[in-house]
Structures are given as C-alpha cells and as structure tokens.
Amino acid sequence: MKEYRKSTAREYFESICVAVILALFVRTFVVQAFKIPTGSMENNLLIGDHLLVNKFVFAPAATAVEETLLPIDPIARGDIIVFKYPEDPERDFIKRTIGLPGETIELRNKKVFIDGTMLDEPYVQYLWTPSDEEGTFDFDVRMTYGPVTVPEGQYFMMGDNRDNSQDSRYWGFLPREYIKGKALFVYFSFGDEAGTNVFSSVRWTRLLHQIH
C-alpha cells in the first residue's frame, strides 16, 4: 500500500491554522495588548506606552482545586488593572486599585484614608498641592471625597495623576465582572517627538519596563 503523505501546501495551511487558533486563544484568555491613551497614570505610565495585560491572573476559579493549582491571584490594593469603563463598557480604562470590598474610603485634602488610616502613596502625582490653610474644598472631589464604603464584589479605582484622572471619584465603584486583567510591563513606547526619523520617537529606556 502506498504511504499517504500530506502535501507541502496542506502542511503549511494546517500550521497557519494552528498558529491562528493559538494566537486567538492567547489573545482571548491569556494576554492582551493595551495602549495608554491619556496621562491619568503619569508618571508611572505615559501616553504612548504599549502594555501587555495578564487576563488570566484574575480569572474566576470554578473549584477549590483550580484555585490551588492555577496561578490565580486575588485583587490587591496597588494592582494596576485594565477594565471595562462602567459608563461605557465598550471602552477600556486603566487605573490603580485603591479600595477593596468592605473598606471605607475618604479623601481629606487630597490624601487617601482607608478605614481612617492615611495611605502611603509614593506613586501619586499632583498638579498642585494644597496647604492646610486653604480649607477642605467640599465641592471638589479631587480634594474631599467620602467617606464611602466599598460594596462587596466592587473596587475603588484611582489614577496616579490624581488631578487629571476620571476615576471612581466621578463614576463610582468598579464591579468585579468588568475587570479584564492586570498590567504586566511596557513592551514598547512611543513619544511625540517623531520628527523625520521614526526611531527618535521610541522611548528605549521604557522597553520591558515593569509596571508596579
């Protein structure tokens, strides 16, 4: 009997199909590329940064066995997360997790307090810093907010660039089911100074920059 052999064209076709399926699987369930469009997370994340987002790390576990064996983490304060914007789920936002379920959040003179204790935030940038003599500015959520308690299954998110961030102070709490993944690292970054040479716009020092 003559041995059956696949044609070279068919082998290439099958290889391409497998590669496409794997790429779609990775894109859908494991990692996602995300581009920073605004300055709400400066100076940690810059406009033009391209990130990889781990979509698997916060995936729900169906059983205790899955939770033990798979690399699934609970959402923690300080995690930088990509999520569906609650007021327009077709858009993706990226912010830092500040308040966890059951915690009471309050802003006093721009400082964040969790259950009455001031949060140490070395990553925060302000456009201006108020003095104690300037009052509380009760009308401005950039200055004074809360106290509010984070409901179960929801989170309080804030941008690092506090005076230039559309976050939970404006649109409320983030439901757990809107979370897409945790930002891992910057795999590429472009600035505005492109000029005639495209390489001049690449921020080489930010390549593979870990996000924290």
189/209 Cα distance (integer angstroms): 10
Give me the pLDDT at residue 25, please: 44
Give me the pLDDT at residue 17, please: 55
Catalytic residue among 55, 95, 110, 182: 95
Give me the pLDDT at residue 26, please: 46
Q: How many other C-beta atoms are found inside a 10 Å radius of the C-beta of residue 57?
A: 18
Confidence of residue 33 (pLDDT cuts 50, 70, 90): confident
Give me the pLDDT at residue 129, please: 74
Catalytic residue among 2, 15, 40, 131: 40
Residue range 192-200: average pLDDT?
63
- Tokens for 56, please give them: 């698997």
Which residues fall within 8 angstroms of residue 100, CB to CB, at 6 or more apart? 75, 76, 77, 150, 155, 156
40 is catalytic: yes
95 is catalytic: yes
Task: Write the Ramachandran bin of 179: left for phi over 0, alpha for psi from -120 to 50, otherwise beta.
Answer: beta
* Structural contact between residues 193 and 201, judged by C-beta atoms closer than 8 angstroms: yes
Question: So what CATH class is 35-210?
Answer: mainly beta
Give me the pLDDT at residue 27, please: 47
136/63 Cα distance (integer angstroms): 48
Residue range 131-149: average pLDDT?
76
Domain extent listing, the chain: 35-210
pLDDT in tens, 151-183: 999 999 999 999 999 999 999 999 999 999 999
Kindly report which listed range (81-90, 108-117, 137-146, 161-170) carries the lowest average pLDDT score. 137-146
Give me the pLDDT at residue 64, please: 58
pLDDT at 131 over 80: no
Q: pLDDT: is 180 or 31 the higher one? A: 180
Q: pLDDT averaged over the chain?
A: 82
Residue range 39-62: average pLDDT?
85
CA distances from 204 to 46, 187, 194, 201 (A): 13, 10, 13, 9
Give me the pLDDT at residue 173, please: 98
Neighbour order of strands in the sheet with 117-118: 117-118, 111-114, 104-108, 145-149
